[in-house]
Structure 1
Amino acid sequence: MHLPLRLRRGAVRAATALLAPLIRFRSIDPLPESRAHEGSPVVYVLQGPALSDRLALRLLCRRHALPDPDRRIVLSGQRHGTLHGLYRDSRQKHYTRSLARLLEAAAHAPGEDIRLVPVTIFWGRMPEREAGGLWRLLTADGWTLGSRLRRLLAMACNARAVEARLDTPLALRAPLTRYVETGRDPVPRIQRLLRRSFHRTRRQAIGPDLSHRRTLVRRLIHRPNVTAAIDAAATEQQQPRRGIERRALRYGFEIASNMSPPVLRLLYRLLGRLWQQLYDGVRVYGMEEVESLAGSHELVYVPCHRSHIDYLLLSWLLYRHGLMAPHIAAGRNLDMPLIGPLLRRAGAFFMRRSFRGNRLYGAVFNEYLHQLLLAGHPVEYFIEGGRSRTGRMLPPKPGMLSMTVDSWQHHHRRALTFVPVYIGYEKVLESNAYMRELRTGHKRRESPLRLLRVLRHLRQPFGQVHVSFGQPLTLGAWLDDHSPDWRRQSAEQPEAWRRKVVPALGFELASRINAAAALNPVALVATALLGTSHRTIETTLLYRQLDTLVALQRHAPGGERVRLPQGEPQQWVEHCVGLGMIEQVEQSLGTLTTAPDERATLLTWYRNNILHLFAAHALVAFAFRNNERLETTALHELIAPAWPTLRQELFLGDSELDDTRLARLLEAFAGEGLLTHDGTTWQRPAAHTEARERLHLLGRIIQPTLERGFLLLSTLMRYPSGAFDRDTLAAQSRQLAERLTLLQGLNAPEYYDQRLFSGLLDSLTEQGWLWHDEHGHLHFDQHLTGALQRSRLLFDPALRHRLTQLTASATPNGTADS
């Protein structure tokens, strides 16, 4: 028996008034504007008939001055409501007749341009699971609309965590006119558009349907690739196939995540409080572009890896902005008691450091990743492999990228887009551990006790965190640009094609991460202060140098999405003093800013976070260290040979330092008074001036990198081609670099990190300057000799002499000359 209309409306108004104090909207997307739909009738469409959603929508409209959902509009002489449900039952099988009647009436009222606004109300968020239980009743929304009892319980438990999504309004005039002209019924078409809108919104917010973990893992071993690996292992090891299947199952359970919505919600609240305790704030840039891609693209997040905080912070941010928390590839070393199960329920799936020699494990892991991507789950992994102990971007590992490319190549139903993410800290939790590992060369194994000890640092200030989303890379479009013939190549020679394309993809993603770097006060102060010889500078000069660094990035940025800091240099320096990164010493002639030895070593980590942004600027400045004046052409010839190696080491986006880029840099230098221009000649400032000092400090940023290259090449070419193998040369160069820091009285273990020399050799080999023979010895020709002779002009005589004398003790057998 239906109540009279007036009585029903009164009951709804009374229920709305009662619930108003209880319901809080955690997020509204997009933020409503009171005049957003002025000028045309607005009709709200909910997915289902739930009274709770209708009450929440009424409160939303009332609080934000949106058009009233209880009003009526007249079409073809009939009155119609402006609030409808797409489905009339929780099983989502039957459409409502009231909406169909509205659409039919609108088709015969061509003068009215009605706009349908799909609205989705989430009473919390929860991906649907096969497993039942009490939590399924009490927690948040899933894919099914749910029974009345479940909706009531969900509303009671989540009244203060309501999310509203208003999709793009659908104007009816154009589709209705087109379908009326053809004589076809327009209603099914409009219903399909609405259905897709609701599906896209739910997929974006709660992800695709989740199968139970046990079901998923058992399904893996029946996939063709895993089955083939099981058969091969049974044959090679001469063991029963059933035993190999059980091993594959163990691998699957060792790998697979067990994402739990209650744990996600709990972590969201706990982490929110942790960030408030640790940081002064989390600044986010570029999230809008990610939100626009979610739901229509398969997303793979590829952040830089500087701290264990990275994956927790990124998942928290995505969840906070209404996006599905990603499944995260984590090292097996984190699958430890207490910590491992919690991370697994937060979406982590674990991987071994190497698959080499274990084809079965590789096949299971590859298939698991493929199933995640195929189902549309967002995935996150660190292309560097591990955390950066030096603060700079590490060379990307090919494993996960290769598996992702292979999965998409064979089953690309939707666009797959990589989302680069730069995460910059003003003070990182693991800083002391990183310094210890650089000094000793040994990495401590993680344990629950060691990770929990971090809690004792919670009372220290850690400044702000900057999270910047870089330019997304859609795989198909990038392959078309990078290698238009990739489809034929991948079909004919798949392995050779992947070996070629995956490193290029890794470099592109690394450069896009770097291009989105954020300049924070600690990194800026570290960059300026470490340019001095004794890590001490007049505070007034420091202010001026900081201002210069930011101005250069403003006029000639080192990346497409560089984020500049807020505030003034004096505030930045005071902030760094408050964090304990630097000290100020009062002198009668003026205040000095200094960094003790231990802090100076730590500051190199923060300097390296943004070193790549100033590579081109510092290279130009360094060219004037030994040259008072240079013509533009001569300057380009002097610095161009060093650029490819710098680009490879620092993951710079510019393929070459062309004339246009150089001209922009020189104009920025002139604007800051660092160079003067006389026709075609550029001249450095006069000696003993502040501008000359600032130019010198800027050049010192890139000096360690250039010195390492000079040491390595000078060592190599003191002997005939083929005298050194790769490992010996890298080890010798590292020892020389360490000796140089000791002679200079520096405590800078990052300067002689052997991985930097190995990366430099990779770069020289890739560019064709070096090549290997069948015995692994390195060979070169007169082209490299000539390039070294030209590069000597970058160094002033004193520095050149010191470096040359240092390399005189190196020998191809790894011992010193007597």
Structure 2
Amino acid sequence: MPGLFRAPLRHLLSAWTEIRLAEPEVADLHLDPSLPTIYVLPRPALSDALLLENYTRQHQMPAAEGRLSVDQVSVARCVALPARRLRRWPGRPAVVAPFTELIAANENVQIVPVSVFWGRAPGKEFGFWHLLAADNWQLTGRLRRALSVMVNGRDVEIQFGAPLQLADILDDREPELTNRKVARLLRVHFRRVRTRVLGPDLSHRSTLIEGVVSSPEVRHTISELQSTPNERSHGKLPRLQRRARRYGNEIASNMTYPVLRFMASALRRLWNRLYDGVDVTGLERVKQLAGDSTLVYVPCHRSHIDYLLLSYVLFRDGLMPPHIAAGRNLDMPVVGPVLRRGGAFFLRRSFRDNRLYGAVFNEYLHRLLAGGYSMEYFIEGGRSRSGRMLPPRPGMLSMTLRSFLRTQQQHARSVVFVPIYIGYERILENASYQRELGGGRKHRETPLGLLKVLGRLREEYGRVSVNIGEPLNIASFLDAQQPQWRQENDQRPDWLKDAVFELGQSLCQRINAVAALNPVNLVGLALLATPHRALEYGMLKGQLDLLCSLISPTPSRPGPTLPEGNADAWIDQVVTLGMIDRREQSLGEIITADASQAALLGWYRNNVLHLFALPALVAFSFRSYDTRSIDELTNLLSPLWPMLARELAVPVGDDLRQQLIRIVEHLVAVELLTEQSGQYQPCNSLEARERLRLLGQMIQPSLERNTLLVDTLLASPSGSLSRDELCQRSRSLAERLALLSGRAAPEFFDLRLFESLVDSLIADGWVWEEEQQLVFGSDLQHAASNAMQLLDASLQRRLAAVTGPQEKA
């Protein structure tokens, strides 16, 4: 275009457009200032070129306008890969990439690929937005590009690729062949970026549902139901097909770009009003995977906000939001249609007895994964009322594994789980969680309930953390679990159940490994370790610093994150959120929490208790014995630690002795323990002893609960109690213990915790089931004896007071 028109158009575009996201930062591109720079666009588009020229001017980058002269070669500073033509007309030259002259002259330049997205609509086969404006997988004509600039000018993204030096590609081949190689590398890069940002092409919803209903798997299920009629499946073929289609409509999402864009704008305002900020860690590793792999996001589930928060973060940072598995209870008037258009697909809590529904849902899930769509679901099943990671449910994990085994026959894209920890300084559901843990009935979600939540938006809620854990590639996981899996054609192999269990455990551990420490959970850890929920201000500060010192992130692997600031700022933040109170005293300030505040703090403490479980267990072991060696600690804790580790979803570790050595040496370094001739004992300082005692008391509730359950089991003959009987009896005793000890924490006697403990005993081989009765041997009695050694006389008497009446009964 002549310069007479180009400059005014560039100024007009600069005034009209707003770049919402540009990454990476200019400094992170690491451009070589000694080399000439050529920018490459994926296709010819004047709007993209002008936008790039404006951006490079504003950010002091090498110019993208005009021509570049390198010795005797003159090329444009911004070029585009030519569009591929399916048919070559007579007399029209073949389209080639524009690097031949530079290659022939053996000149070195740095090539920077640039992708520009005007809006971010996932491609659809039909629809107004496909025809009109937003970027998708289809190439755009001039009219459509002009409409796209007009409609999406305030929602533009620029993605820069890593610079590619031409000298690194030059070889002895003909310049034309090398030119094609450069073009091929750039096209692969552009395709990966578009997949990451836009996701794969979306089929129209009705087309997808029809494909599910007519699939061989669903038709086979319908055929079987016809041949074995009963009260649920009796009916003719058309009736069963209509039912399958109805299930498909009930399940399937209807992701649409206008709703995604509306929700991104609305949620940005919501987070700005609700929270002081959203901190995201580790998203770079997701971006590296997104172009080549199908991603399955598996966050922990603490709040209804989780659904919206993760999609918002991904959309904001240049990734396609996932399809989200949501409970059918959220498919309510007004809210359900919006969530469905934002990517939610709905499932029933249980459909084990409905074969047709199960077949439709499995096929729908398989088509999403096989199509390369990213997905999100919560492996815990529901929100955690206790604040800790719940045991994983096998349903969605099993369906994902079966779908993966099915697609591997076609050499499909790799599937990678992305574990995510979401941590809050304050959640919206505080009151309802406490009511439910105390025995209250769970209220059904309604639009009216949502309006009540909106009325609390003016309150303080602090910050939110979204931490990305270490991704888990399904193929690599199966290689370690079942090396021969590639040679099997069975979609339900015998080893699937065990693999699903191990997969769930691994994902829970990876989520917990990247927990976010914040002022609320740190204060909760320290304050709730005291019998009366009160600490001197200076002691609390010292305890917060001690807890942070125990966290040592590993550079090679993602780990926990620490809050910004210092202990004084953290305490101020928790006071601002209304979680604790300050009491001015003549001898110094005291921090306290009343019963209701303590119940809330317990939920946040449980978010991160697992990070300190083993150090706390070591500190607790010095409660009744002043001197211990490493060998004594190892022998004492070896039977106890695996059960605690499984309960808290942390790895047991390969060498407990080495872990104990590191912890004890750290406690010596912070002057809580002293060492003499291989024997360790608490320091003589009263303050040091108190800090060690507070550290140990963090794990005391878990030890008491575990000991209570094991004592309840041992009080009856082996094989006389079922799982449900043991859990119910233990829960009643734990509630009694909570009343006797003044522990105002309903989560202490949460039934799901006892169910998880029984699962841990069975998984570790302490207990096994015979004819639905729990059977145990002498090893369990030995472990119980070790646990009792940790408890001092007062704690043993307290447990005896609780379990004594039960034993007599």
If the TM-score is normalised by the length of the shorter chain, which range does it land in?
A: over 0.9
Q: 1:650-669, aligned counterparts within 5 Å?
A: 650-656=648-654, 658-669=656-667
Q: 1:717: Cα distance to partner?
A: 1.5
Matches of 1:194 and 1:117, distance apart in 2: 9
Letter in 1 for 2:740: L
* 1:227 match: 219
* 2:275 match: 279
Matches of 1:697 and 1:628, distance apart in 2: 16
Matches of 2:359 and 2:98, distance apart in 1: 54
* 1:72 match: 67
* 1:22 match: 16
CA contact (8 A) 2:254 2:342 kept: yes
* 2:200 match: 208
Deviation digits for residues 213-268 of structure 1 (CA, Å, limit 9, x no counterpart): 00100011121211111111222224211111111101111000000100111110
Letter in 2 for 1:722: G
* 1:369 match: 365
Matches of 2:18 and 2:70, distance apart in 1: 35
- Are residues 27 and 363 of structure 1, via their aligned partners in 2, closer, same or farther at CA, if it must alter by over 3 Å? same
Larger mean Cα displacement after TM superposition, 474-483 or 370-379: 474-483
Letter in 2 for 1:482: Q
Q: 1:196: Cα distance to partner?
A: 1.8
CA contact (8 A) 2:300 2:421 kept: yes
Mark the runs of 5 or more structure 2 residues left unpaired by the alignment: none
Alignment partner of 2:753 out of 753, 756, 765: 756
Aligned sequence identity (%): 47
CA contact (8 A) 1:649 1:763 kept: yes
Larger mean Cα displacement after TM superposition, 22-31 or 297-306: 22-31
Q: 1:654: Cα distance to partner?
A: 3.5
Q: 1:11: Cα distance to partner?
A: 1.9
Alignment partner of 2:625 out of 627, 632, 637: 627
* 2:142 match: 148
* 1:177 match: 171
Letter in 1 for 2:749: Y
* 1:61 match: 56
CA contact (8 A) 2:300 2:511 kept: yes
Q: 1:764: Cα distance to partner?
A: 0.7
Letter in 2 for 1:447: T
Q: 1:699: Cα distance to partner?
A: 0.8
Q: 1:411-450, aligned counterparts within 5 Å?
A: 411-412=407-408, 413-450=412-449
Q: Is the partner of 2:422 in helix, strand or coil? A: strand
Deviation digits for residues 696-746 of structure 1 (CA, Å, limit 9, x no counterpart): 111111111111111111122123212222211111111111001111223
* 2:284 match: 288
Q: Is the partner of 2:398 in helix, strand or coil? A: helix
Matches of 2:524 and 2:145, distance apart in 1: 55
Deviation digits for residues 570-608 of structure 1 (CA, Å, limit 9, x no counterpart): 111111111000111112222211111111111110000
The reply to whether residue 766 of structure 1 matches residue 763 of structure 2 is yes
CA contact (8 A) 2:244 2:360 kept: yes
* 2:259 match: 263
* 2:395 match: 399
CA contact (8 A) 2:124 2:202 kept: yes
Matches of 1:425 and 1:738, distance apart in 2: 28
* 2:98 match: 102
Matches of 2:461 and 2:718, distance apart in 1: 51
* 1:251 match: 247
Larger mean Cα displacement after TM superposition, 510-519 or 759-768: 759-768
Cα RMSD, aligned residues only: 2.2
* 2:7 match: 13
- Are residues 199 and 158 of structure 1, via their aligned partners in 2, closer, same or farther at CA, if it must alter by over 3 Å? same
Q: Is the partner of 1:324 in helix, strand or coil? A: coil
Larger mean Cα displacement after TM superposition, 575-584 or 649-658: 649-658
* 1:543 match: 541
* 1:534 match: 532
Deviation digits for residues 638-669 of structure 1 (CA, Å, limit 9, x no counterpart): 11111110111111023355222111111111
The reply to whether residue 163 of structure 1 matches residue 161 of structure 2 is no
* 2:341 match: 345
- Are residues 754 and 470 of structure 1, via their aligned partners in 2, closer, same or farther at CA, if it must alter by over 3 Å? same
Matches of 1:99 and 1:59, distance apart in 2: 28
- Are residues 166 and 97 of structure 1, via their aligned partners in 2, closer, same or farther at CA, if it must alter by over 3 Å? farther
Q: 1:77: Cα distance to partner?
A: 4.0
* 2:693 match: 696
Matches of 2:83 and 2:198, distance apart in 1: 23
The reply to whether residue 359 of structure 1 matches residue 355 of structure 2 is yes
Letter in 2 for 1:152: A
Matches of 2:170 and 2:358, distance apart in 1: 53
Matches of 1:643 and 1:121, distance apart in 2: 53
Letter in 2 for 1:670: V
Letter in 2 for 1:129: K
* 1:87 match: 82
Deviation digits for residues 349-379 of structure 1 (CA, Å, limit 9, x no counterpart): 0001112111111111111111111111110
CA contact (8 A) 1:117 1:169 kept: yes
Q: Is the partner of 1:302 in helix, strand or coil? A: strand
The reply to whether residue 132 of structure 1 matches residue 127 of structure 2 is yes
Matches of 1:716 and 1:394, distance apart in 2: 23
When the two structures are aligned, how many residues end up with a matched partner? 798
Letter in 2 for 1:757: F
State the TM-score, normalized to the length of structure 2: 0.95
Matches of 1:378 and 1:305, distance apart in 2: 18
The reply to whether residue 683 of structure 1 matches residue 672 of structure 2 is no
The reply to whether residue 408 of structure 1 matches residue 407 of structure 2 is no
Deviation digits for residues 62-82 of structure 1 (CA, Å, limit 9, x no counterpart): 112222223334468453223
Matches of 1:641 and 1:748, distance apart in 2: 27
- Are residues 47 and 186 of structure 1, via their aligned partners in 2, closer, same or farther at CA, if it must alter by over 3 Å? same
CA contact (8 A) 1:45 1:83 kept: yes
Q: Is the partner of 2:397 in helix, strand or coil? A: helix
* 1:726 match: 723
* 1:45 match: 40
Matches of 1:521 and 1:40, distance apart in 2: 48
Alignment partner of 1:308 out of 285, 304, 308: 304
- Are residues 590 and 364 of structure 1, via their aligned partners in 2, closer, same or farther at CA, if it must alter by over 3 Å? same
* 2:464 match: 465
Letter in 1 for 2:728: A
* 1:476 match: 475
Matches of 1:627 and 1:714, distance apart in 2: 23
State the TM-score, normalized to the length of structure 1: 0.94
Matches of 2:766 and 2:548, distance apart in 1: 36
- Are residues 97 and 304 of structure 1, via their aligned partners in 2, closer, same or farther at CA, if it must alter by over 3 Å? farther
Q: Is the partner of 1:177 in helix, strand or coil? A: coil
Letter in 2 for 1:770: V
Matches of 1:442 and 1:82, distance apart in 2: 67
CA contact (8 A) 2:82 2:97 kept: no
Matches of 1:35 and 1:471, distance apart in 2: 26
CA contact (8 A) 2:731 2:750 kept: yes
Q: Is the partner of 1:322 in helix, strand or coil? A: coil
Matches of 1:42 and 1:418, distance apart in 2: 38
* 2:329 match: 333
- Are residues 71 and 512 of structure 1, via their aligned partners in 2, closer, same or farther at CA, if it must alter by over 3 Å? same
Matches of 1:679 and 1:615, distance apart in 2: 27
Matches of 1:90 and 1:593, distance apart in 2: 73
Matches of 1:91 and 1:205, distance apart in 2: 26
Larger mean Cα displacement after TM superposition, 698-707 or 69-78: 69-78
Deviation digits for residues 14-58 of structure 1 (CA, Å, limit 9, x no counterpart): 321333233221111212249713233322221222211111011
- Are residues 555 and 104 of structure 1, via their aligned partners in 2, closer, same or farther at CA, if it must alter by over 3 Å? closer
Q: Is the partner of 1:283 in helix, strand or coil? A: strand
- Are residues 657 and 598 of structure 1, via their aligned partners in 2, closer, same or farther at CA, if it must alter by over 3 Å? farther
Matches of 2:204 and 2:554, distance apart in 1: 52
Deviation digits for residues 190-210 of structure 1 (CA, Å, limit 9, x no counterpart): 332222222111111111111
Matches of 1:24 and 1:93, distance apart in 2: 39
Q: Is the partner of 1:758 in helix, strand or coil? A: helix
Letter in 1 for 2:447: P
